[in-house]
Amino acid sequence: METLTDTQNQPDSRNLAIDRVGVKALRYPVKIRDKENAEQSTVATVSMAVDLPKEYKGTHMSRFVEVLNSHGPVLDVHSISAIPKELLDRLDAQRAHVEFRFPFFLKKAAPVTGKEGMIDYEVIFDIDTTSEETDFEVTVLVPVTTLCPCSKAISARGAHNQRGIVTFSVKFSKDPIWVEDLIRLVESCASCELYSVLKRPDEKHVTEEAYDNPVFVEDLVRNVAAASDKQESIAWYRVEAENFESIHNHNAYAVIEKAGD
């Protein structure tokens, strides 16, 4: 076989190391473990990177995809952690980073009629690995309804509400928590959760439930933070809420982050 020049391994004279180099926006079919059905099929957008020492001209991009394919389509928090560890070996790196971003679907029944529909949430698995340690972060993006306490207090008829998004990131100290349980934790802290199918009795119910449970964006992040503090398995969290305001031309925003030990 003809010997081909390995340009990536040639020396570089600029004396500059690279923090991350790799591939991103790679779509890959995966089966994610879930609580109800054991697993569900989805499509992840994958990013993978390693550091590059100053003496090397480039990295070997094909090896990222080879490593990903070698682990197959069924992933959980344990199997996905093996990917950056293998990248360290295959690419002679000191640090590797892998991100899986994918839609996660749940079947939800309407609160009164029980009509079922699918609702999707965005989930991110983010893993940073060195030879000494692995840092695994799980993020769920959860849409919710919030109703303004101030509007309710000052208005004779009704109160303005809006749809918001909560970005909830956690790191675990013990066994991981199911994605479904993280989503449910967030939804329980809002004025009301969202549904994909609502008949008239359901719409009446969620409207009145939101009215009975008004929360500012500040209340929302505090509620999620307080609920997280009660979970022994959560070692660190960052909860960010953004309300897409219905009567302003700006969004309301708040964030709380718990420092790691």
Q: Write the CATH number for 91.
A: 3.10.270.10
pLDDT for 261? 54
Tell me what percent of the chain is helix, strand and coil, each rounded to the nearest 5: 25, 45, 35
Whether 13 is covered by a domain: the verdict is no
The confidence score (pLDDT) of residue 209 equals 96
Judge whether 9 lies within some domain.
no
Structural element, H or E, at residue 105: strand 95-109
In a domain, 3, yes or no: no
Share of the chain above pLDDT 70, in %: 95
Q: Residue 230's domain spans which residues?
A: 19-258
pTM for the whole thing? 0.90
Alpha helix ranges (H) inside 118-216: 149-154, 179-187, 200-212
Domain tally for the chain?
A: 1
Predicted confidence band at 138 (pLDDT cuts at 50, 70, 90)?
very high
Please give the average per-residue pLDDT across 211-235, as a whole number: 95
CA atoms within 13 A on the CB side of 241: 26
- The residue-averaged pLDDT of 11-17 equals 80
Q: Is residue 145 part of a domain?
A: yes
Residue 93 lies in a domain: yes
- The rounded distance, in Å, linking the Cα atoms of 190 and 125 is 24
73-91 pLDDT, tens per residue? 777 777 788 899 999 999 9
Residue 178: inside a domain: yes
Rounded to whole angstroms, the Cα distance separating 150 from 153 reads 5
When the pLDDT of each residue in the chain is averaged and rounded to a whole number, the result is: 91
> Is the residue at 248 inside a domain?
yes
